[in-house]
């Protein structure tokens, strides 16, 4: 049985083998290339949060040259595909398993086509990119990553705030609530919120806002702690819902959102109450007579 047969038959075996190889042999490409370089192979591109203008230049160039774009369905704004993929065959990856996706991308690449795998936001956050890359690499197809703007950054920009703010929010957690993927023990939302100076960005949690907020209340967190829910950040139908741990669930349910929103918990949501940073130290000392 060749490696390809093994991978085609059992993608998990291919992924495991590739992971083992990565652990044992340093991948020279790590030192030969930087993010943003044009590289050999199939790029795994972050589409950004939705607005086509928030795609990187590298991502745009790759899409414009692509013959086949395998994209993440409704999570990728169709405007991105319309704007940059006029000449490519488009395949929606939703509902397809690795057994289908890997041969599709491999065969197109081996036929000499430019293949792009398009993920929403940045592939590094809840993207499941690495398993596809490992399976492809196992079959001899090189791959690489092109970063994108993750939805938390788009939501933060919409809210006209920062996720870190001096003295108020010293850390950021990218997390998701318990559900099919995470057990209750693996859900750390309450711990992050309890740290006090963390901005907690919840992905994949729109459908579970009430359960999540109920858990926070049951754990004794301040009911008045600010929460923002940004639906479709940077899309034409973007919507912002502001509230608190106590009020946000009613407002989200009233709006009817069950998916595609980013939930941000923490004082940073308001953009107020922070201390000035040391970065621009002299500004406050400038009197009306100063030169600056
Ligand atoms: C499978 S995860 C992918 C995240 C993506 N890789 C990223 O970096 O944004 C999908 C979740 O990301 C969030 N998301 C993705 N795009 C969004 C957007 N434009 N606005 C708000 N949330 C978004 C939602 O929480 C959604 O449930």
Kindly give the distance from the C-alpha atom of residue 242 to the centroid of ligand 1, in angstroms, as a whole number: 18
CA 48 to chain centre: 8
Q: Give which of 147, 252, 255 is closest to 205, Cα–Cα.
A: 252
- In CATH terms, 152-270 corresponds, of 1.10.10.10, 3.30.950.10, 3.20.19.10, 3.90.380.10, to 3.30.950.10
Q: So where are the chain's domains?
A: 3-148, 152-270
pLDDT tens digits for the chain (292 residues)?
444 455 456 778 888 888 888 888 888 999 999 999 999 999 999 999 999 999 999 999 999 999 999 998 988 999 999 999 989 999 999 999 999 999 999 999 999 999 999 999 999 999 999 999 999 999 999 999 999 999 999 999 999 999 999 999 999 999 999 999 999 999 999 999 999 999 999 999 999 999 999 999 999 999 999 999 999 999 999 999 999 999 999 999 999 999 999 999 999 999 999 988 877 766 556 666 555 4
Domain spanning 3-148: which CATH class is it, in words?
Answer: alpha beta
- For ligand 1, atom 12, name the residue with the nearest CA: 203
Predicted pLDDT at 38: 92
Predicted pLDDT at 160: 98
- 184 φ, ψ to 5°? -55, -35
Can you point out the beta strands (E) in the chain?
A: 42-46, 68-71, 89-92, 115-119, 143-146, 171-175, 198-202, 226-231, 239-244, 261-265
Kindly give the distance from the C-alpha atom of residue 261 to the centroid of ligand 1, in angstroms, as a whole number: 7
Kindly give the distance from the C-alpha atom of residue 150 to the centroid of ligand 1, in angstroms, as a whole number: 7
CB atoms within 10 A of CB 22: 14
Predicted pLDDT at 16: 86
Question: What pTM value is reported for the model?
Answer: 0.91
CA-CA distance, 188 to 82, in Å (whole number)? 38
| CB distance 52 to ligand 1 below 6 Å | no
Instruction: Give me the long-range contacts of 70-75 (CB less than 8 A, separation at least 24).
Output: 70/101, 70/104, 70/105, 70/115, 70/116, 70/117, 70/118, 71/47, 71/118, 72/47, 72/118, 72/119, 72/120, 74/260, 75/120, 75/260
- Beta-bridge partner residues of 239: 231
Predicted pLDDT at 1: 43
CA-CA distance, 163 to 171, in Å (whole number)? 8
Predicted pLDDT at 288: 60
C-beta of residue 14 within 8 angstroms of C-beta of residue 134:
yes
Q: Give which of 22, 70, 23 is closest to 47, Cα–Cα.
A: 70
- Whole-number Cα distances in Å, 247 to 196, 221, 225: 19, 13, 10
Tell whether the torsion through CA atoms of 37, 117, 72 and 12 is positive or negative.
negative
CA-CA distance, 9 to 71, in Å (whole number)? 24
């Amino acid at each position: 049985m060749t490696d390809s047969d093994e991978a085609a038959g059992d993608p998990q075996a291919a992924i495991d083998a590739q992971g083992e190889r990565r652990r044992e042999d340093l991948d020279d490409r790590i030192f030969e290339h930087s993010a943003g370089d044009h590289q050999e192979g199939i790029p795994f591109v972050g589409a950004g949060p939705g607005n086509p203008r928030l795609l990187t230049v590298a991502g745009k160039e790759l899409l414009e040259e692509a013959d086949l774009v395998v994209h993440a369905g409704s999570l990728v704004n169709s405007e991105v595909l319309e704007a940059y993929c006029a000449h490519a065959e488009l395949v929606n990856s939703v509902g397809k398993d690795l057994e289908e996706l890997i041969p599709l991308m491999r065969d197109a690449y081996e036929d000499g086509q430019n293949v792009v795998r398009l993920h929403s936001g940045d592939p590094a956050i809840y993207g499941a990119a690495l398993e596809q890359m490992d399976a492809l690499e196992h079959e001899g197809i090189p791959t690489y990553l092109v970063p994108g703007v993750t939805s938390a950054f788009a939501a933060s920009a919409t809210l006209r705030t920062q996720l870190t703010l001096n003295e108020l929010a010293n850390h950021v957690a990218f997390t998701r609530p318990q559900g099919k993927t995470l057990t209750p023990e693996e859900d750390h939302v309450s711990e992050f919120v309890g740290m006090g100076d963390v901005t907690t960005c919840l992905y994949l949690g729109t459908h579970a806002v009430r359960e999540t907020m109920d858990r926070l209340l049951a754990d004794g967190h301040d009911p008045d702690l600010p929460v923002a829910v940004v639906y479709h950040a940077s899309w034409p139908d973007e919507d912002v819902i502001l509230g608190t741990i106590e009020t946000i669930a009613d407002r989200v349910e009233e709006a009817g959102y069950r998916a595609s929103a980013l939930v941000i918990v923490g004082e940073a949501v308001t953009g107020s109450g922070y201390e000035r940073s040391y970065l621009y130290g002299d500004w406050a000392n400038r009197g009306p007579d100063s030169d600056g």
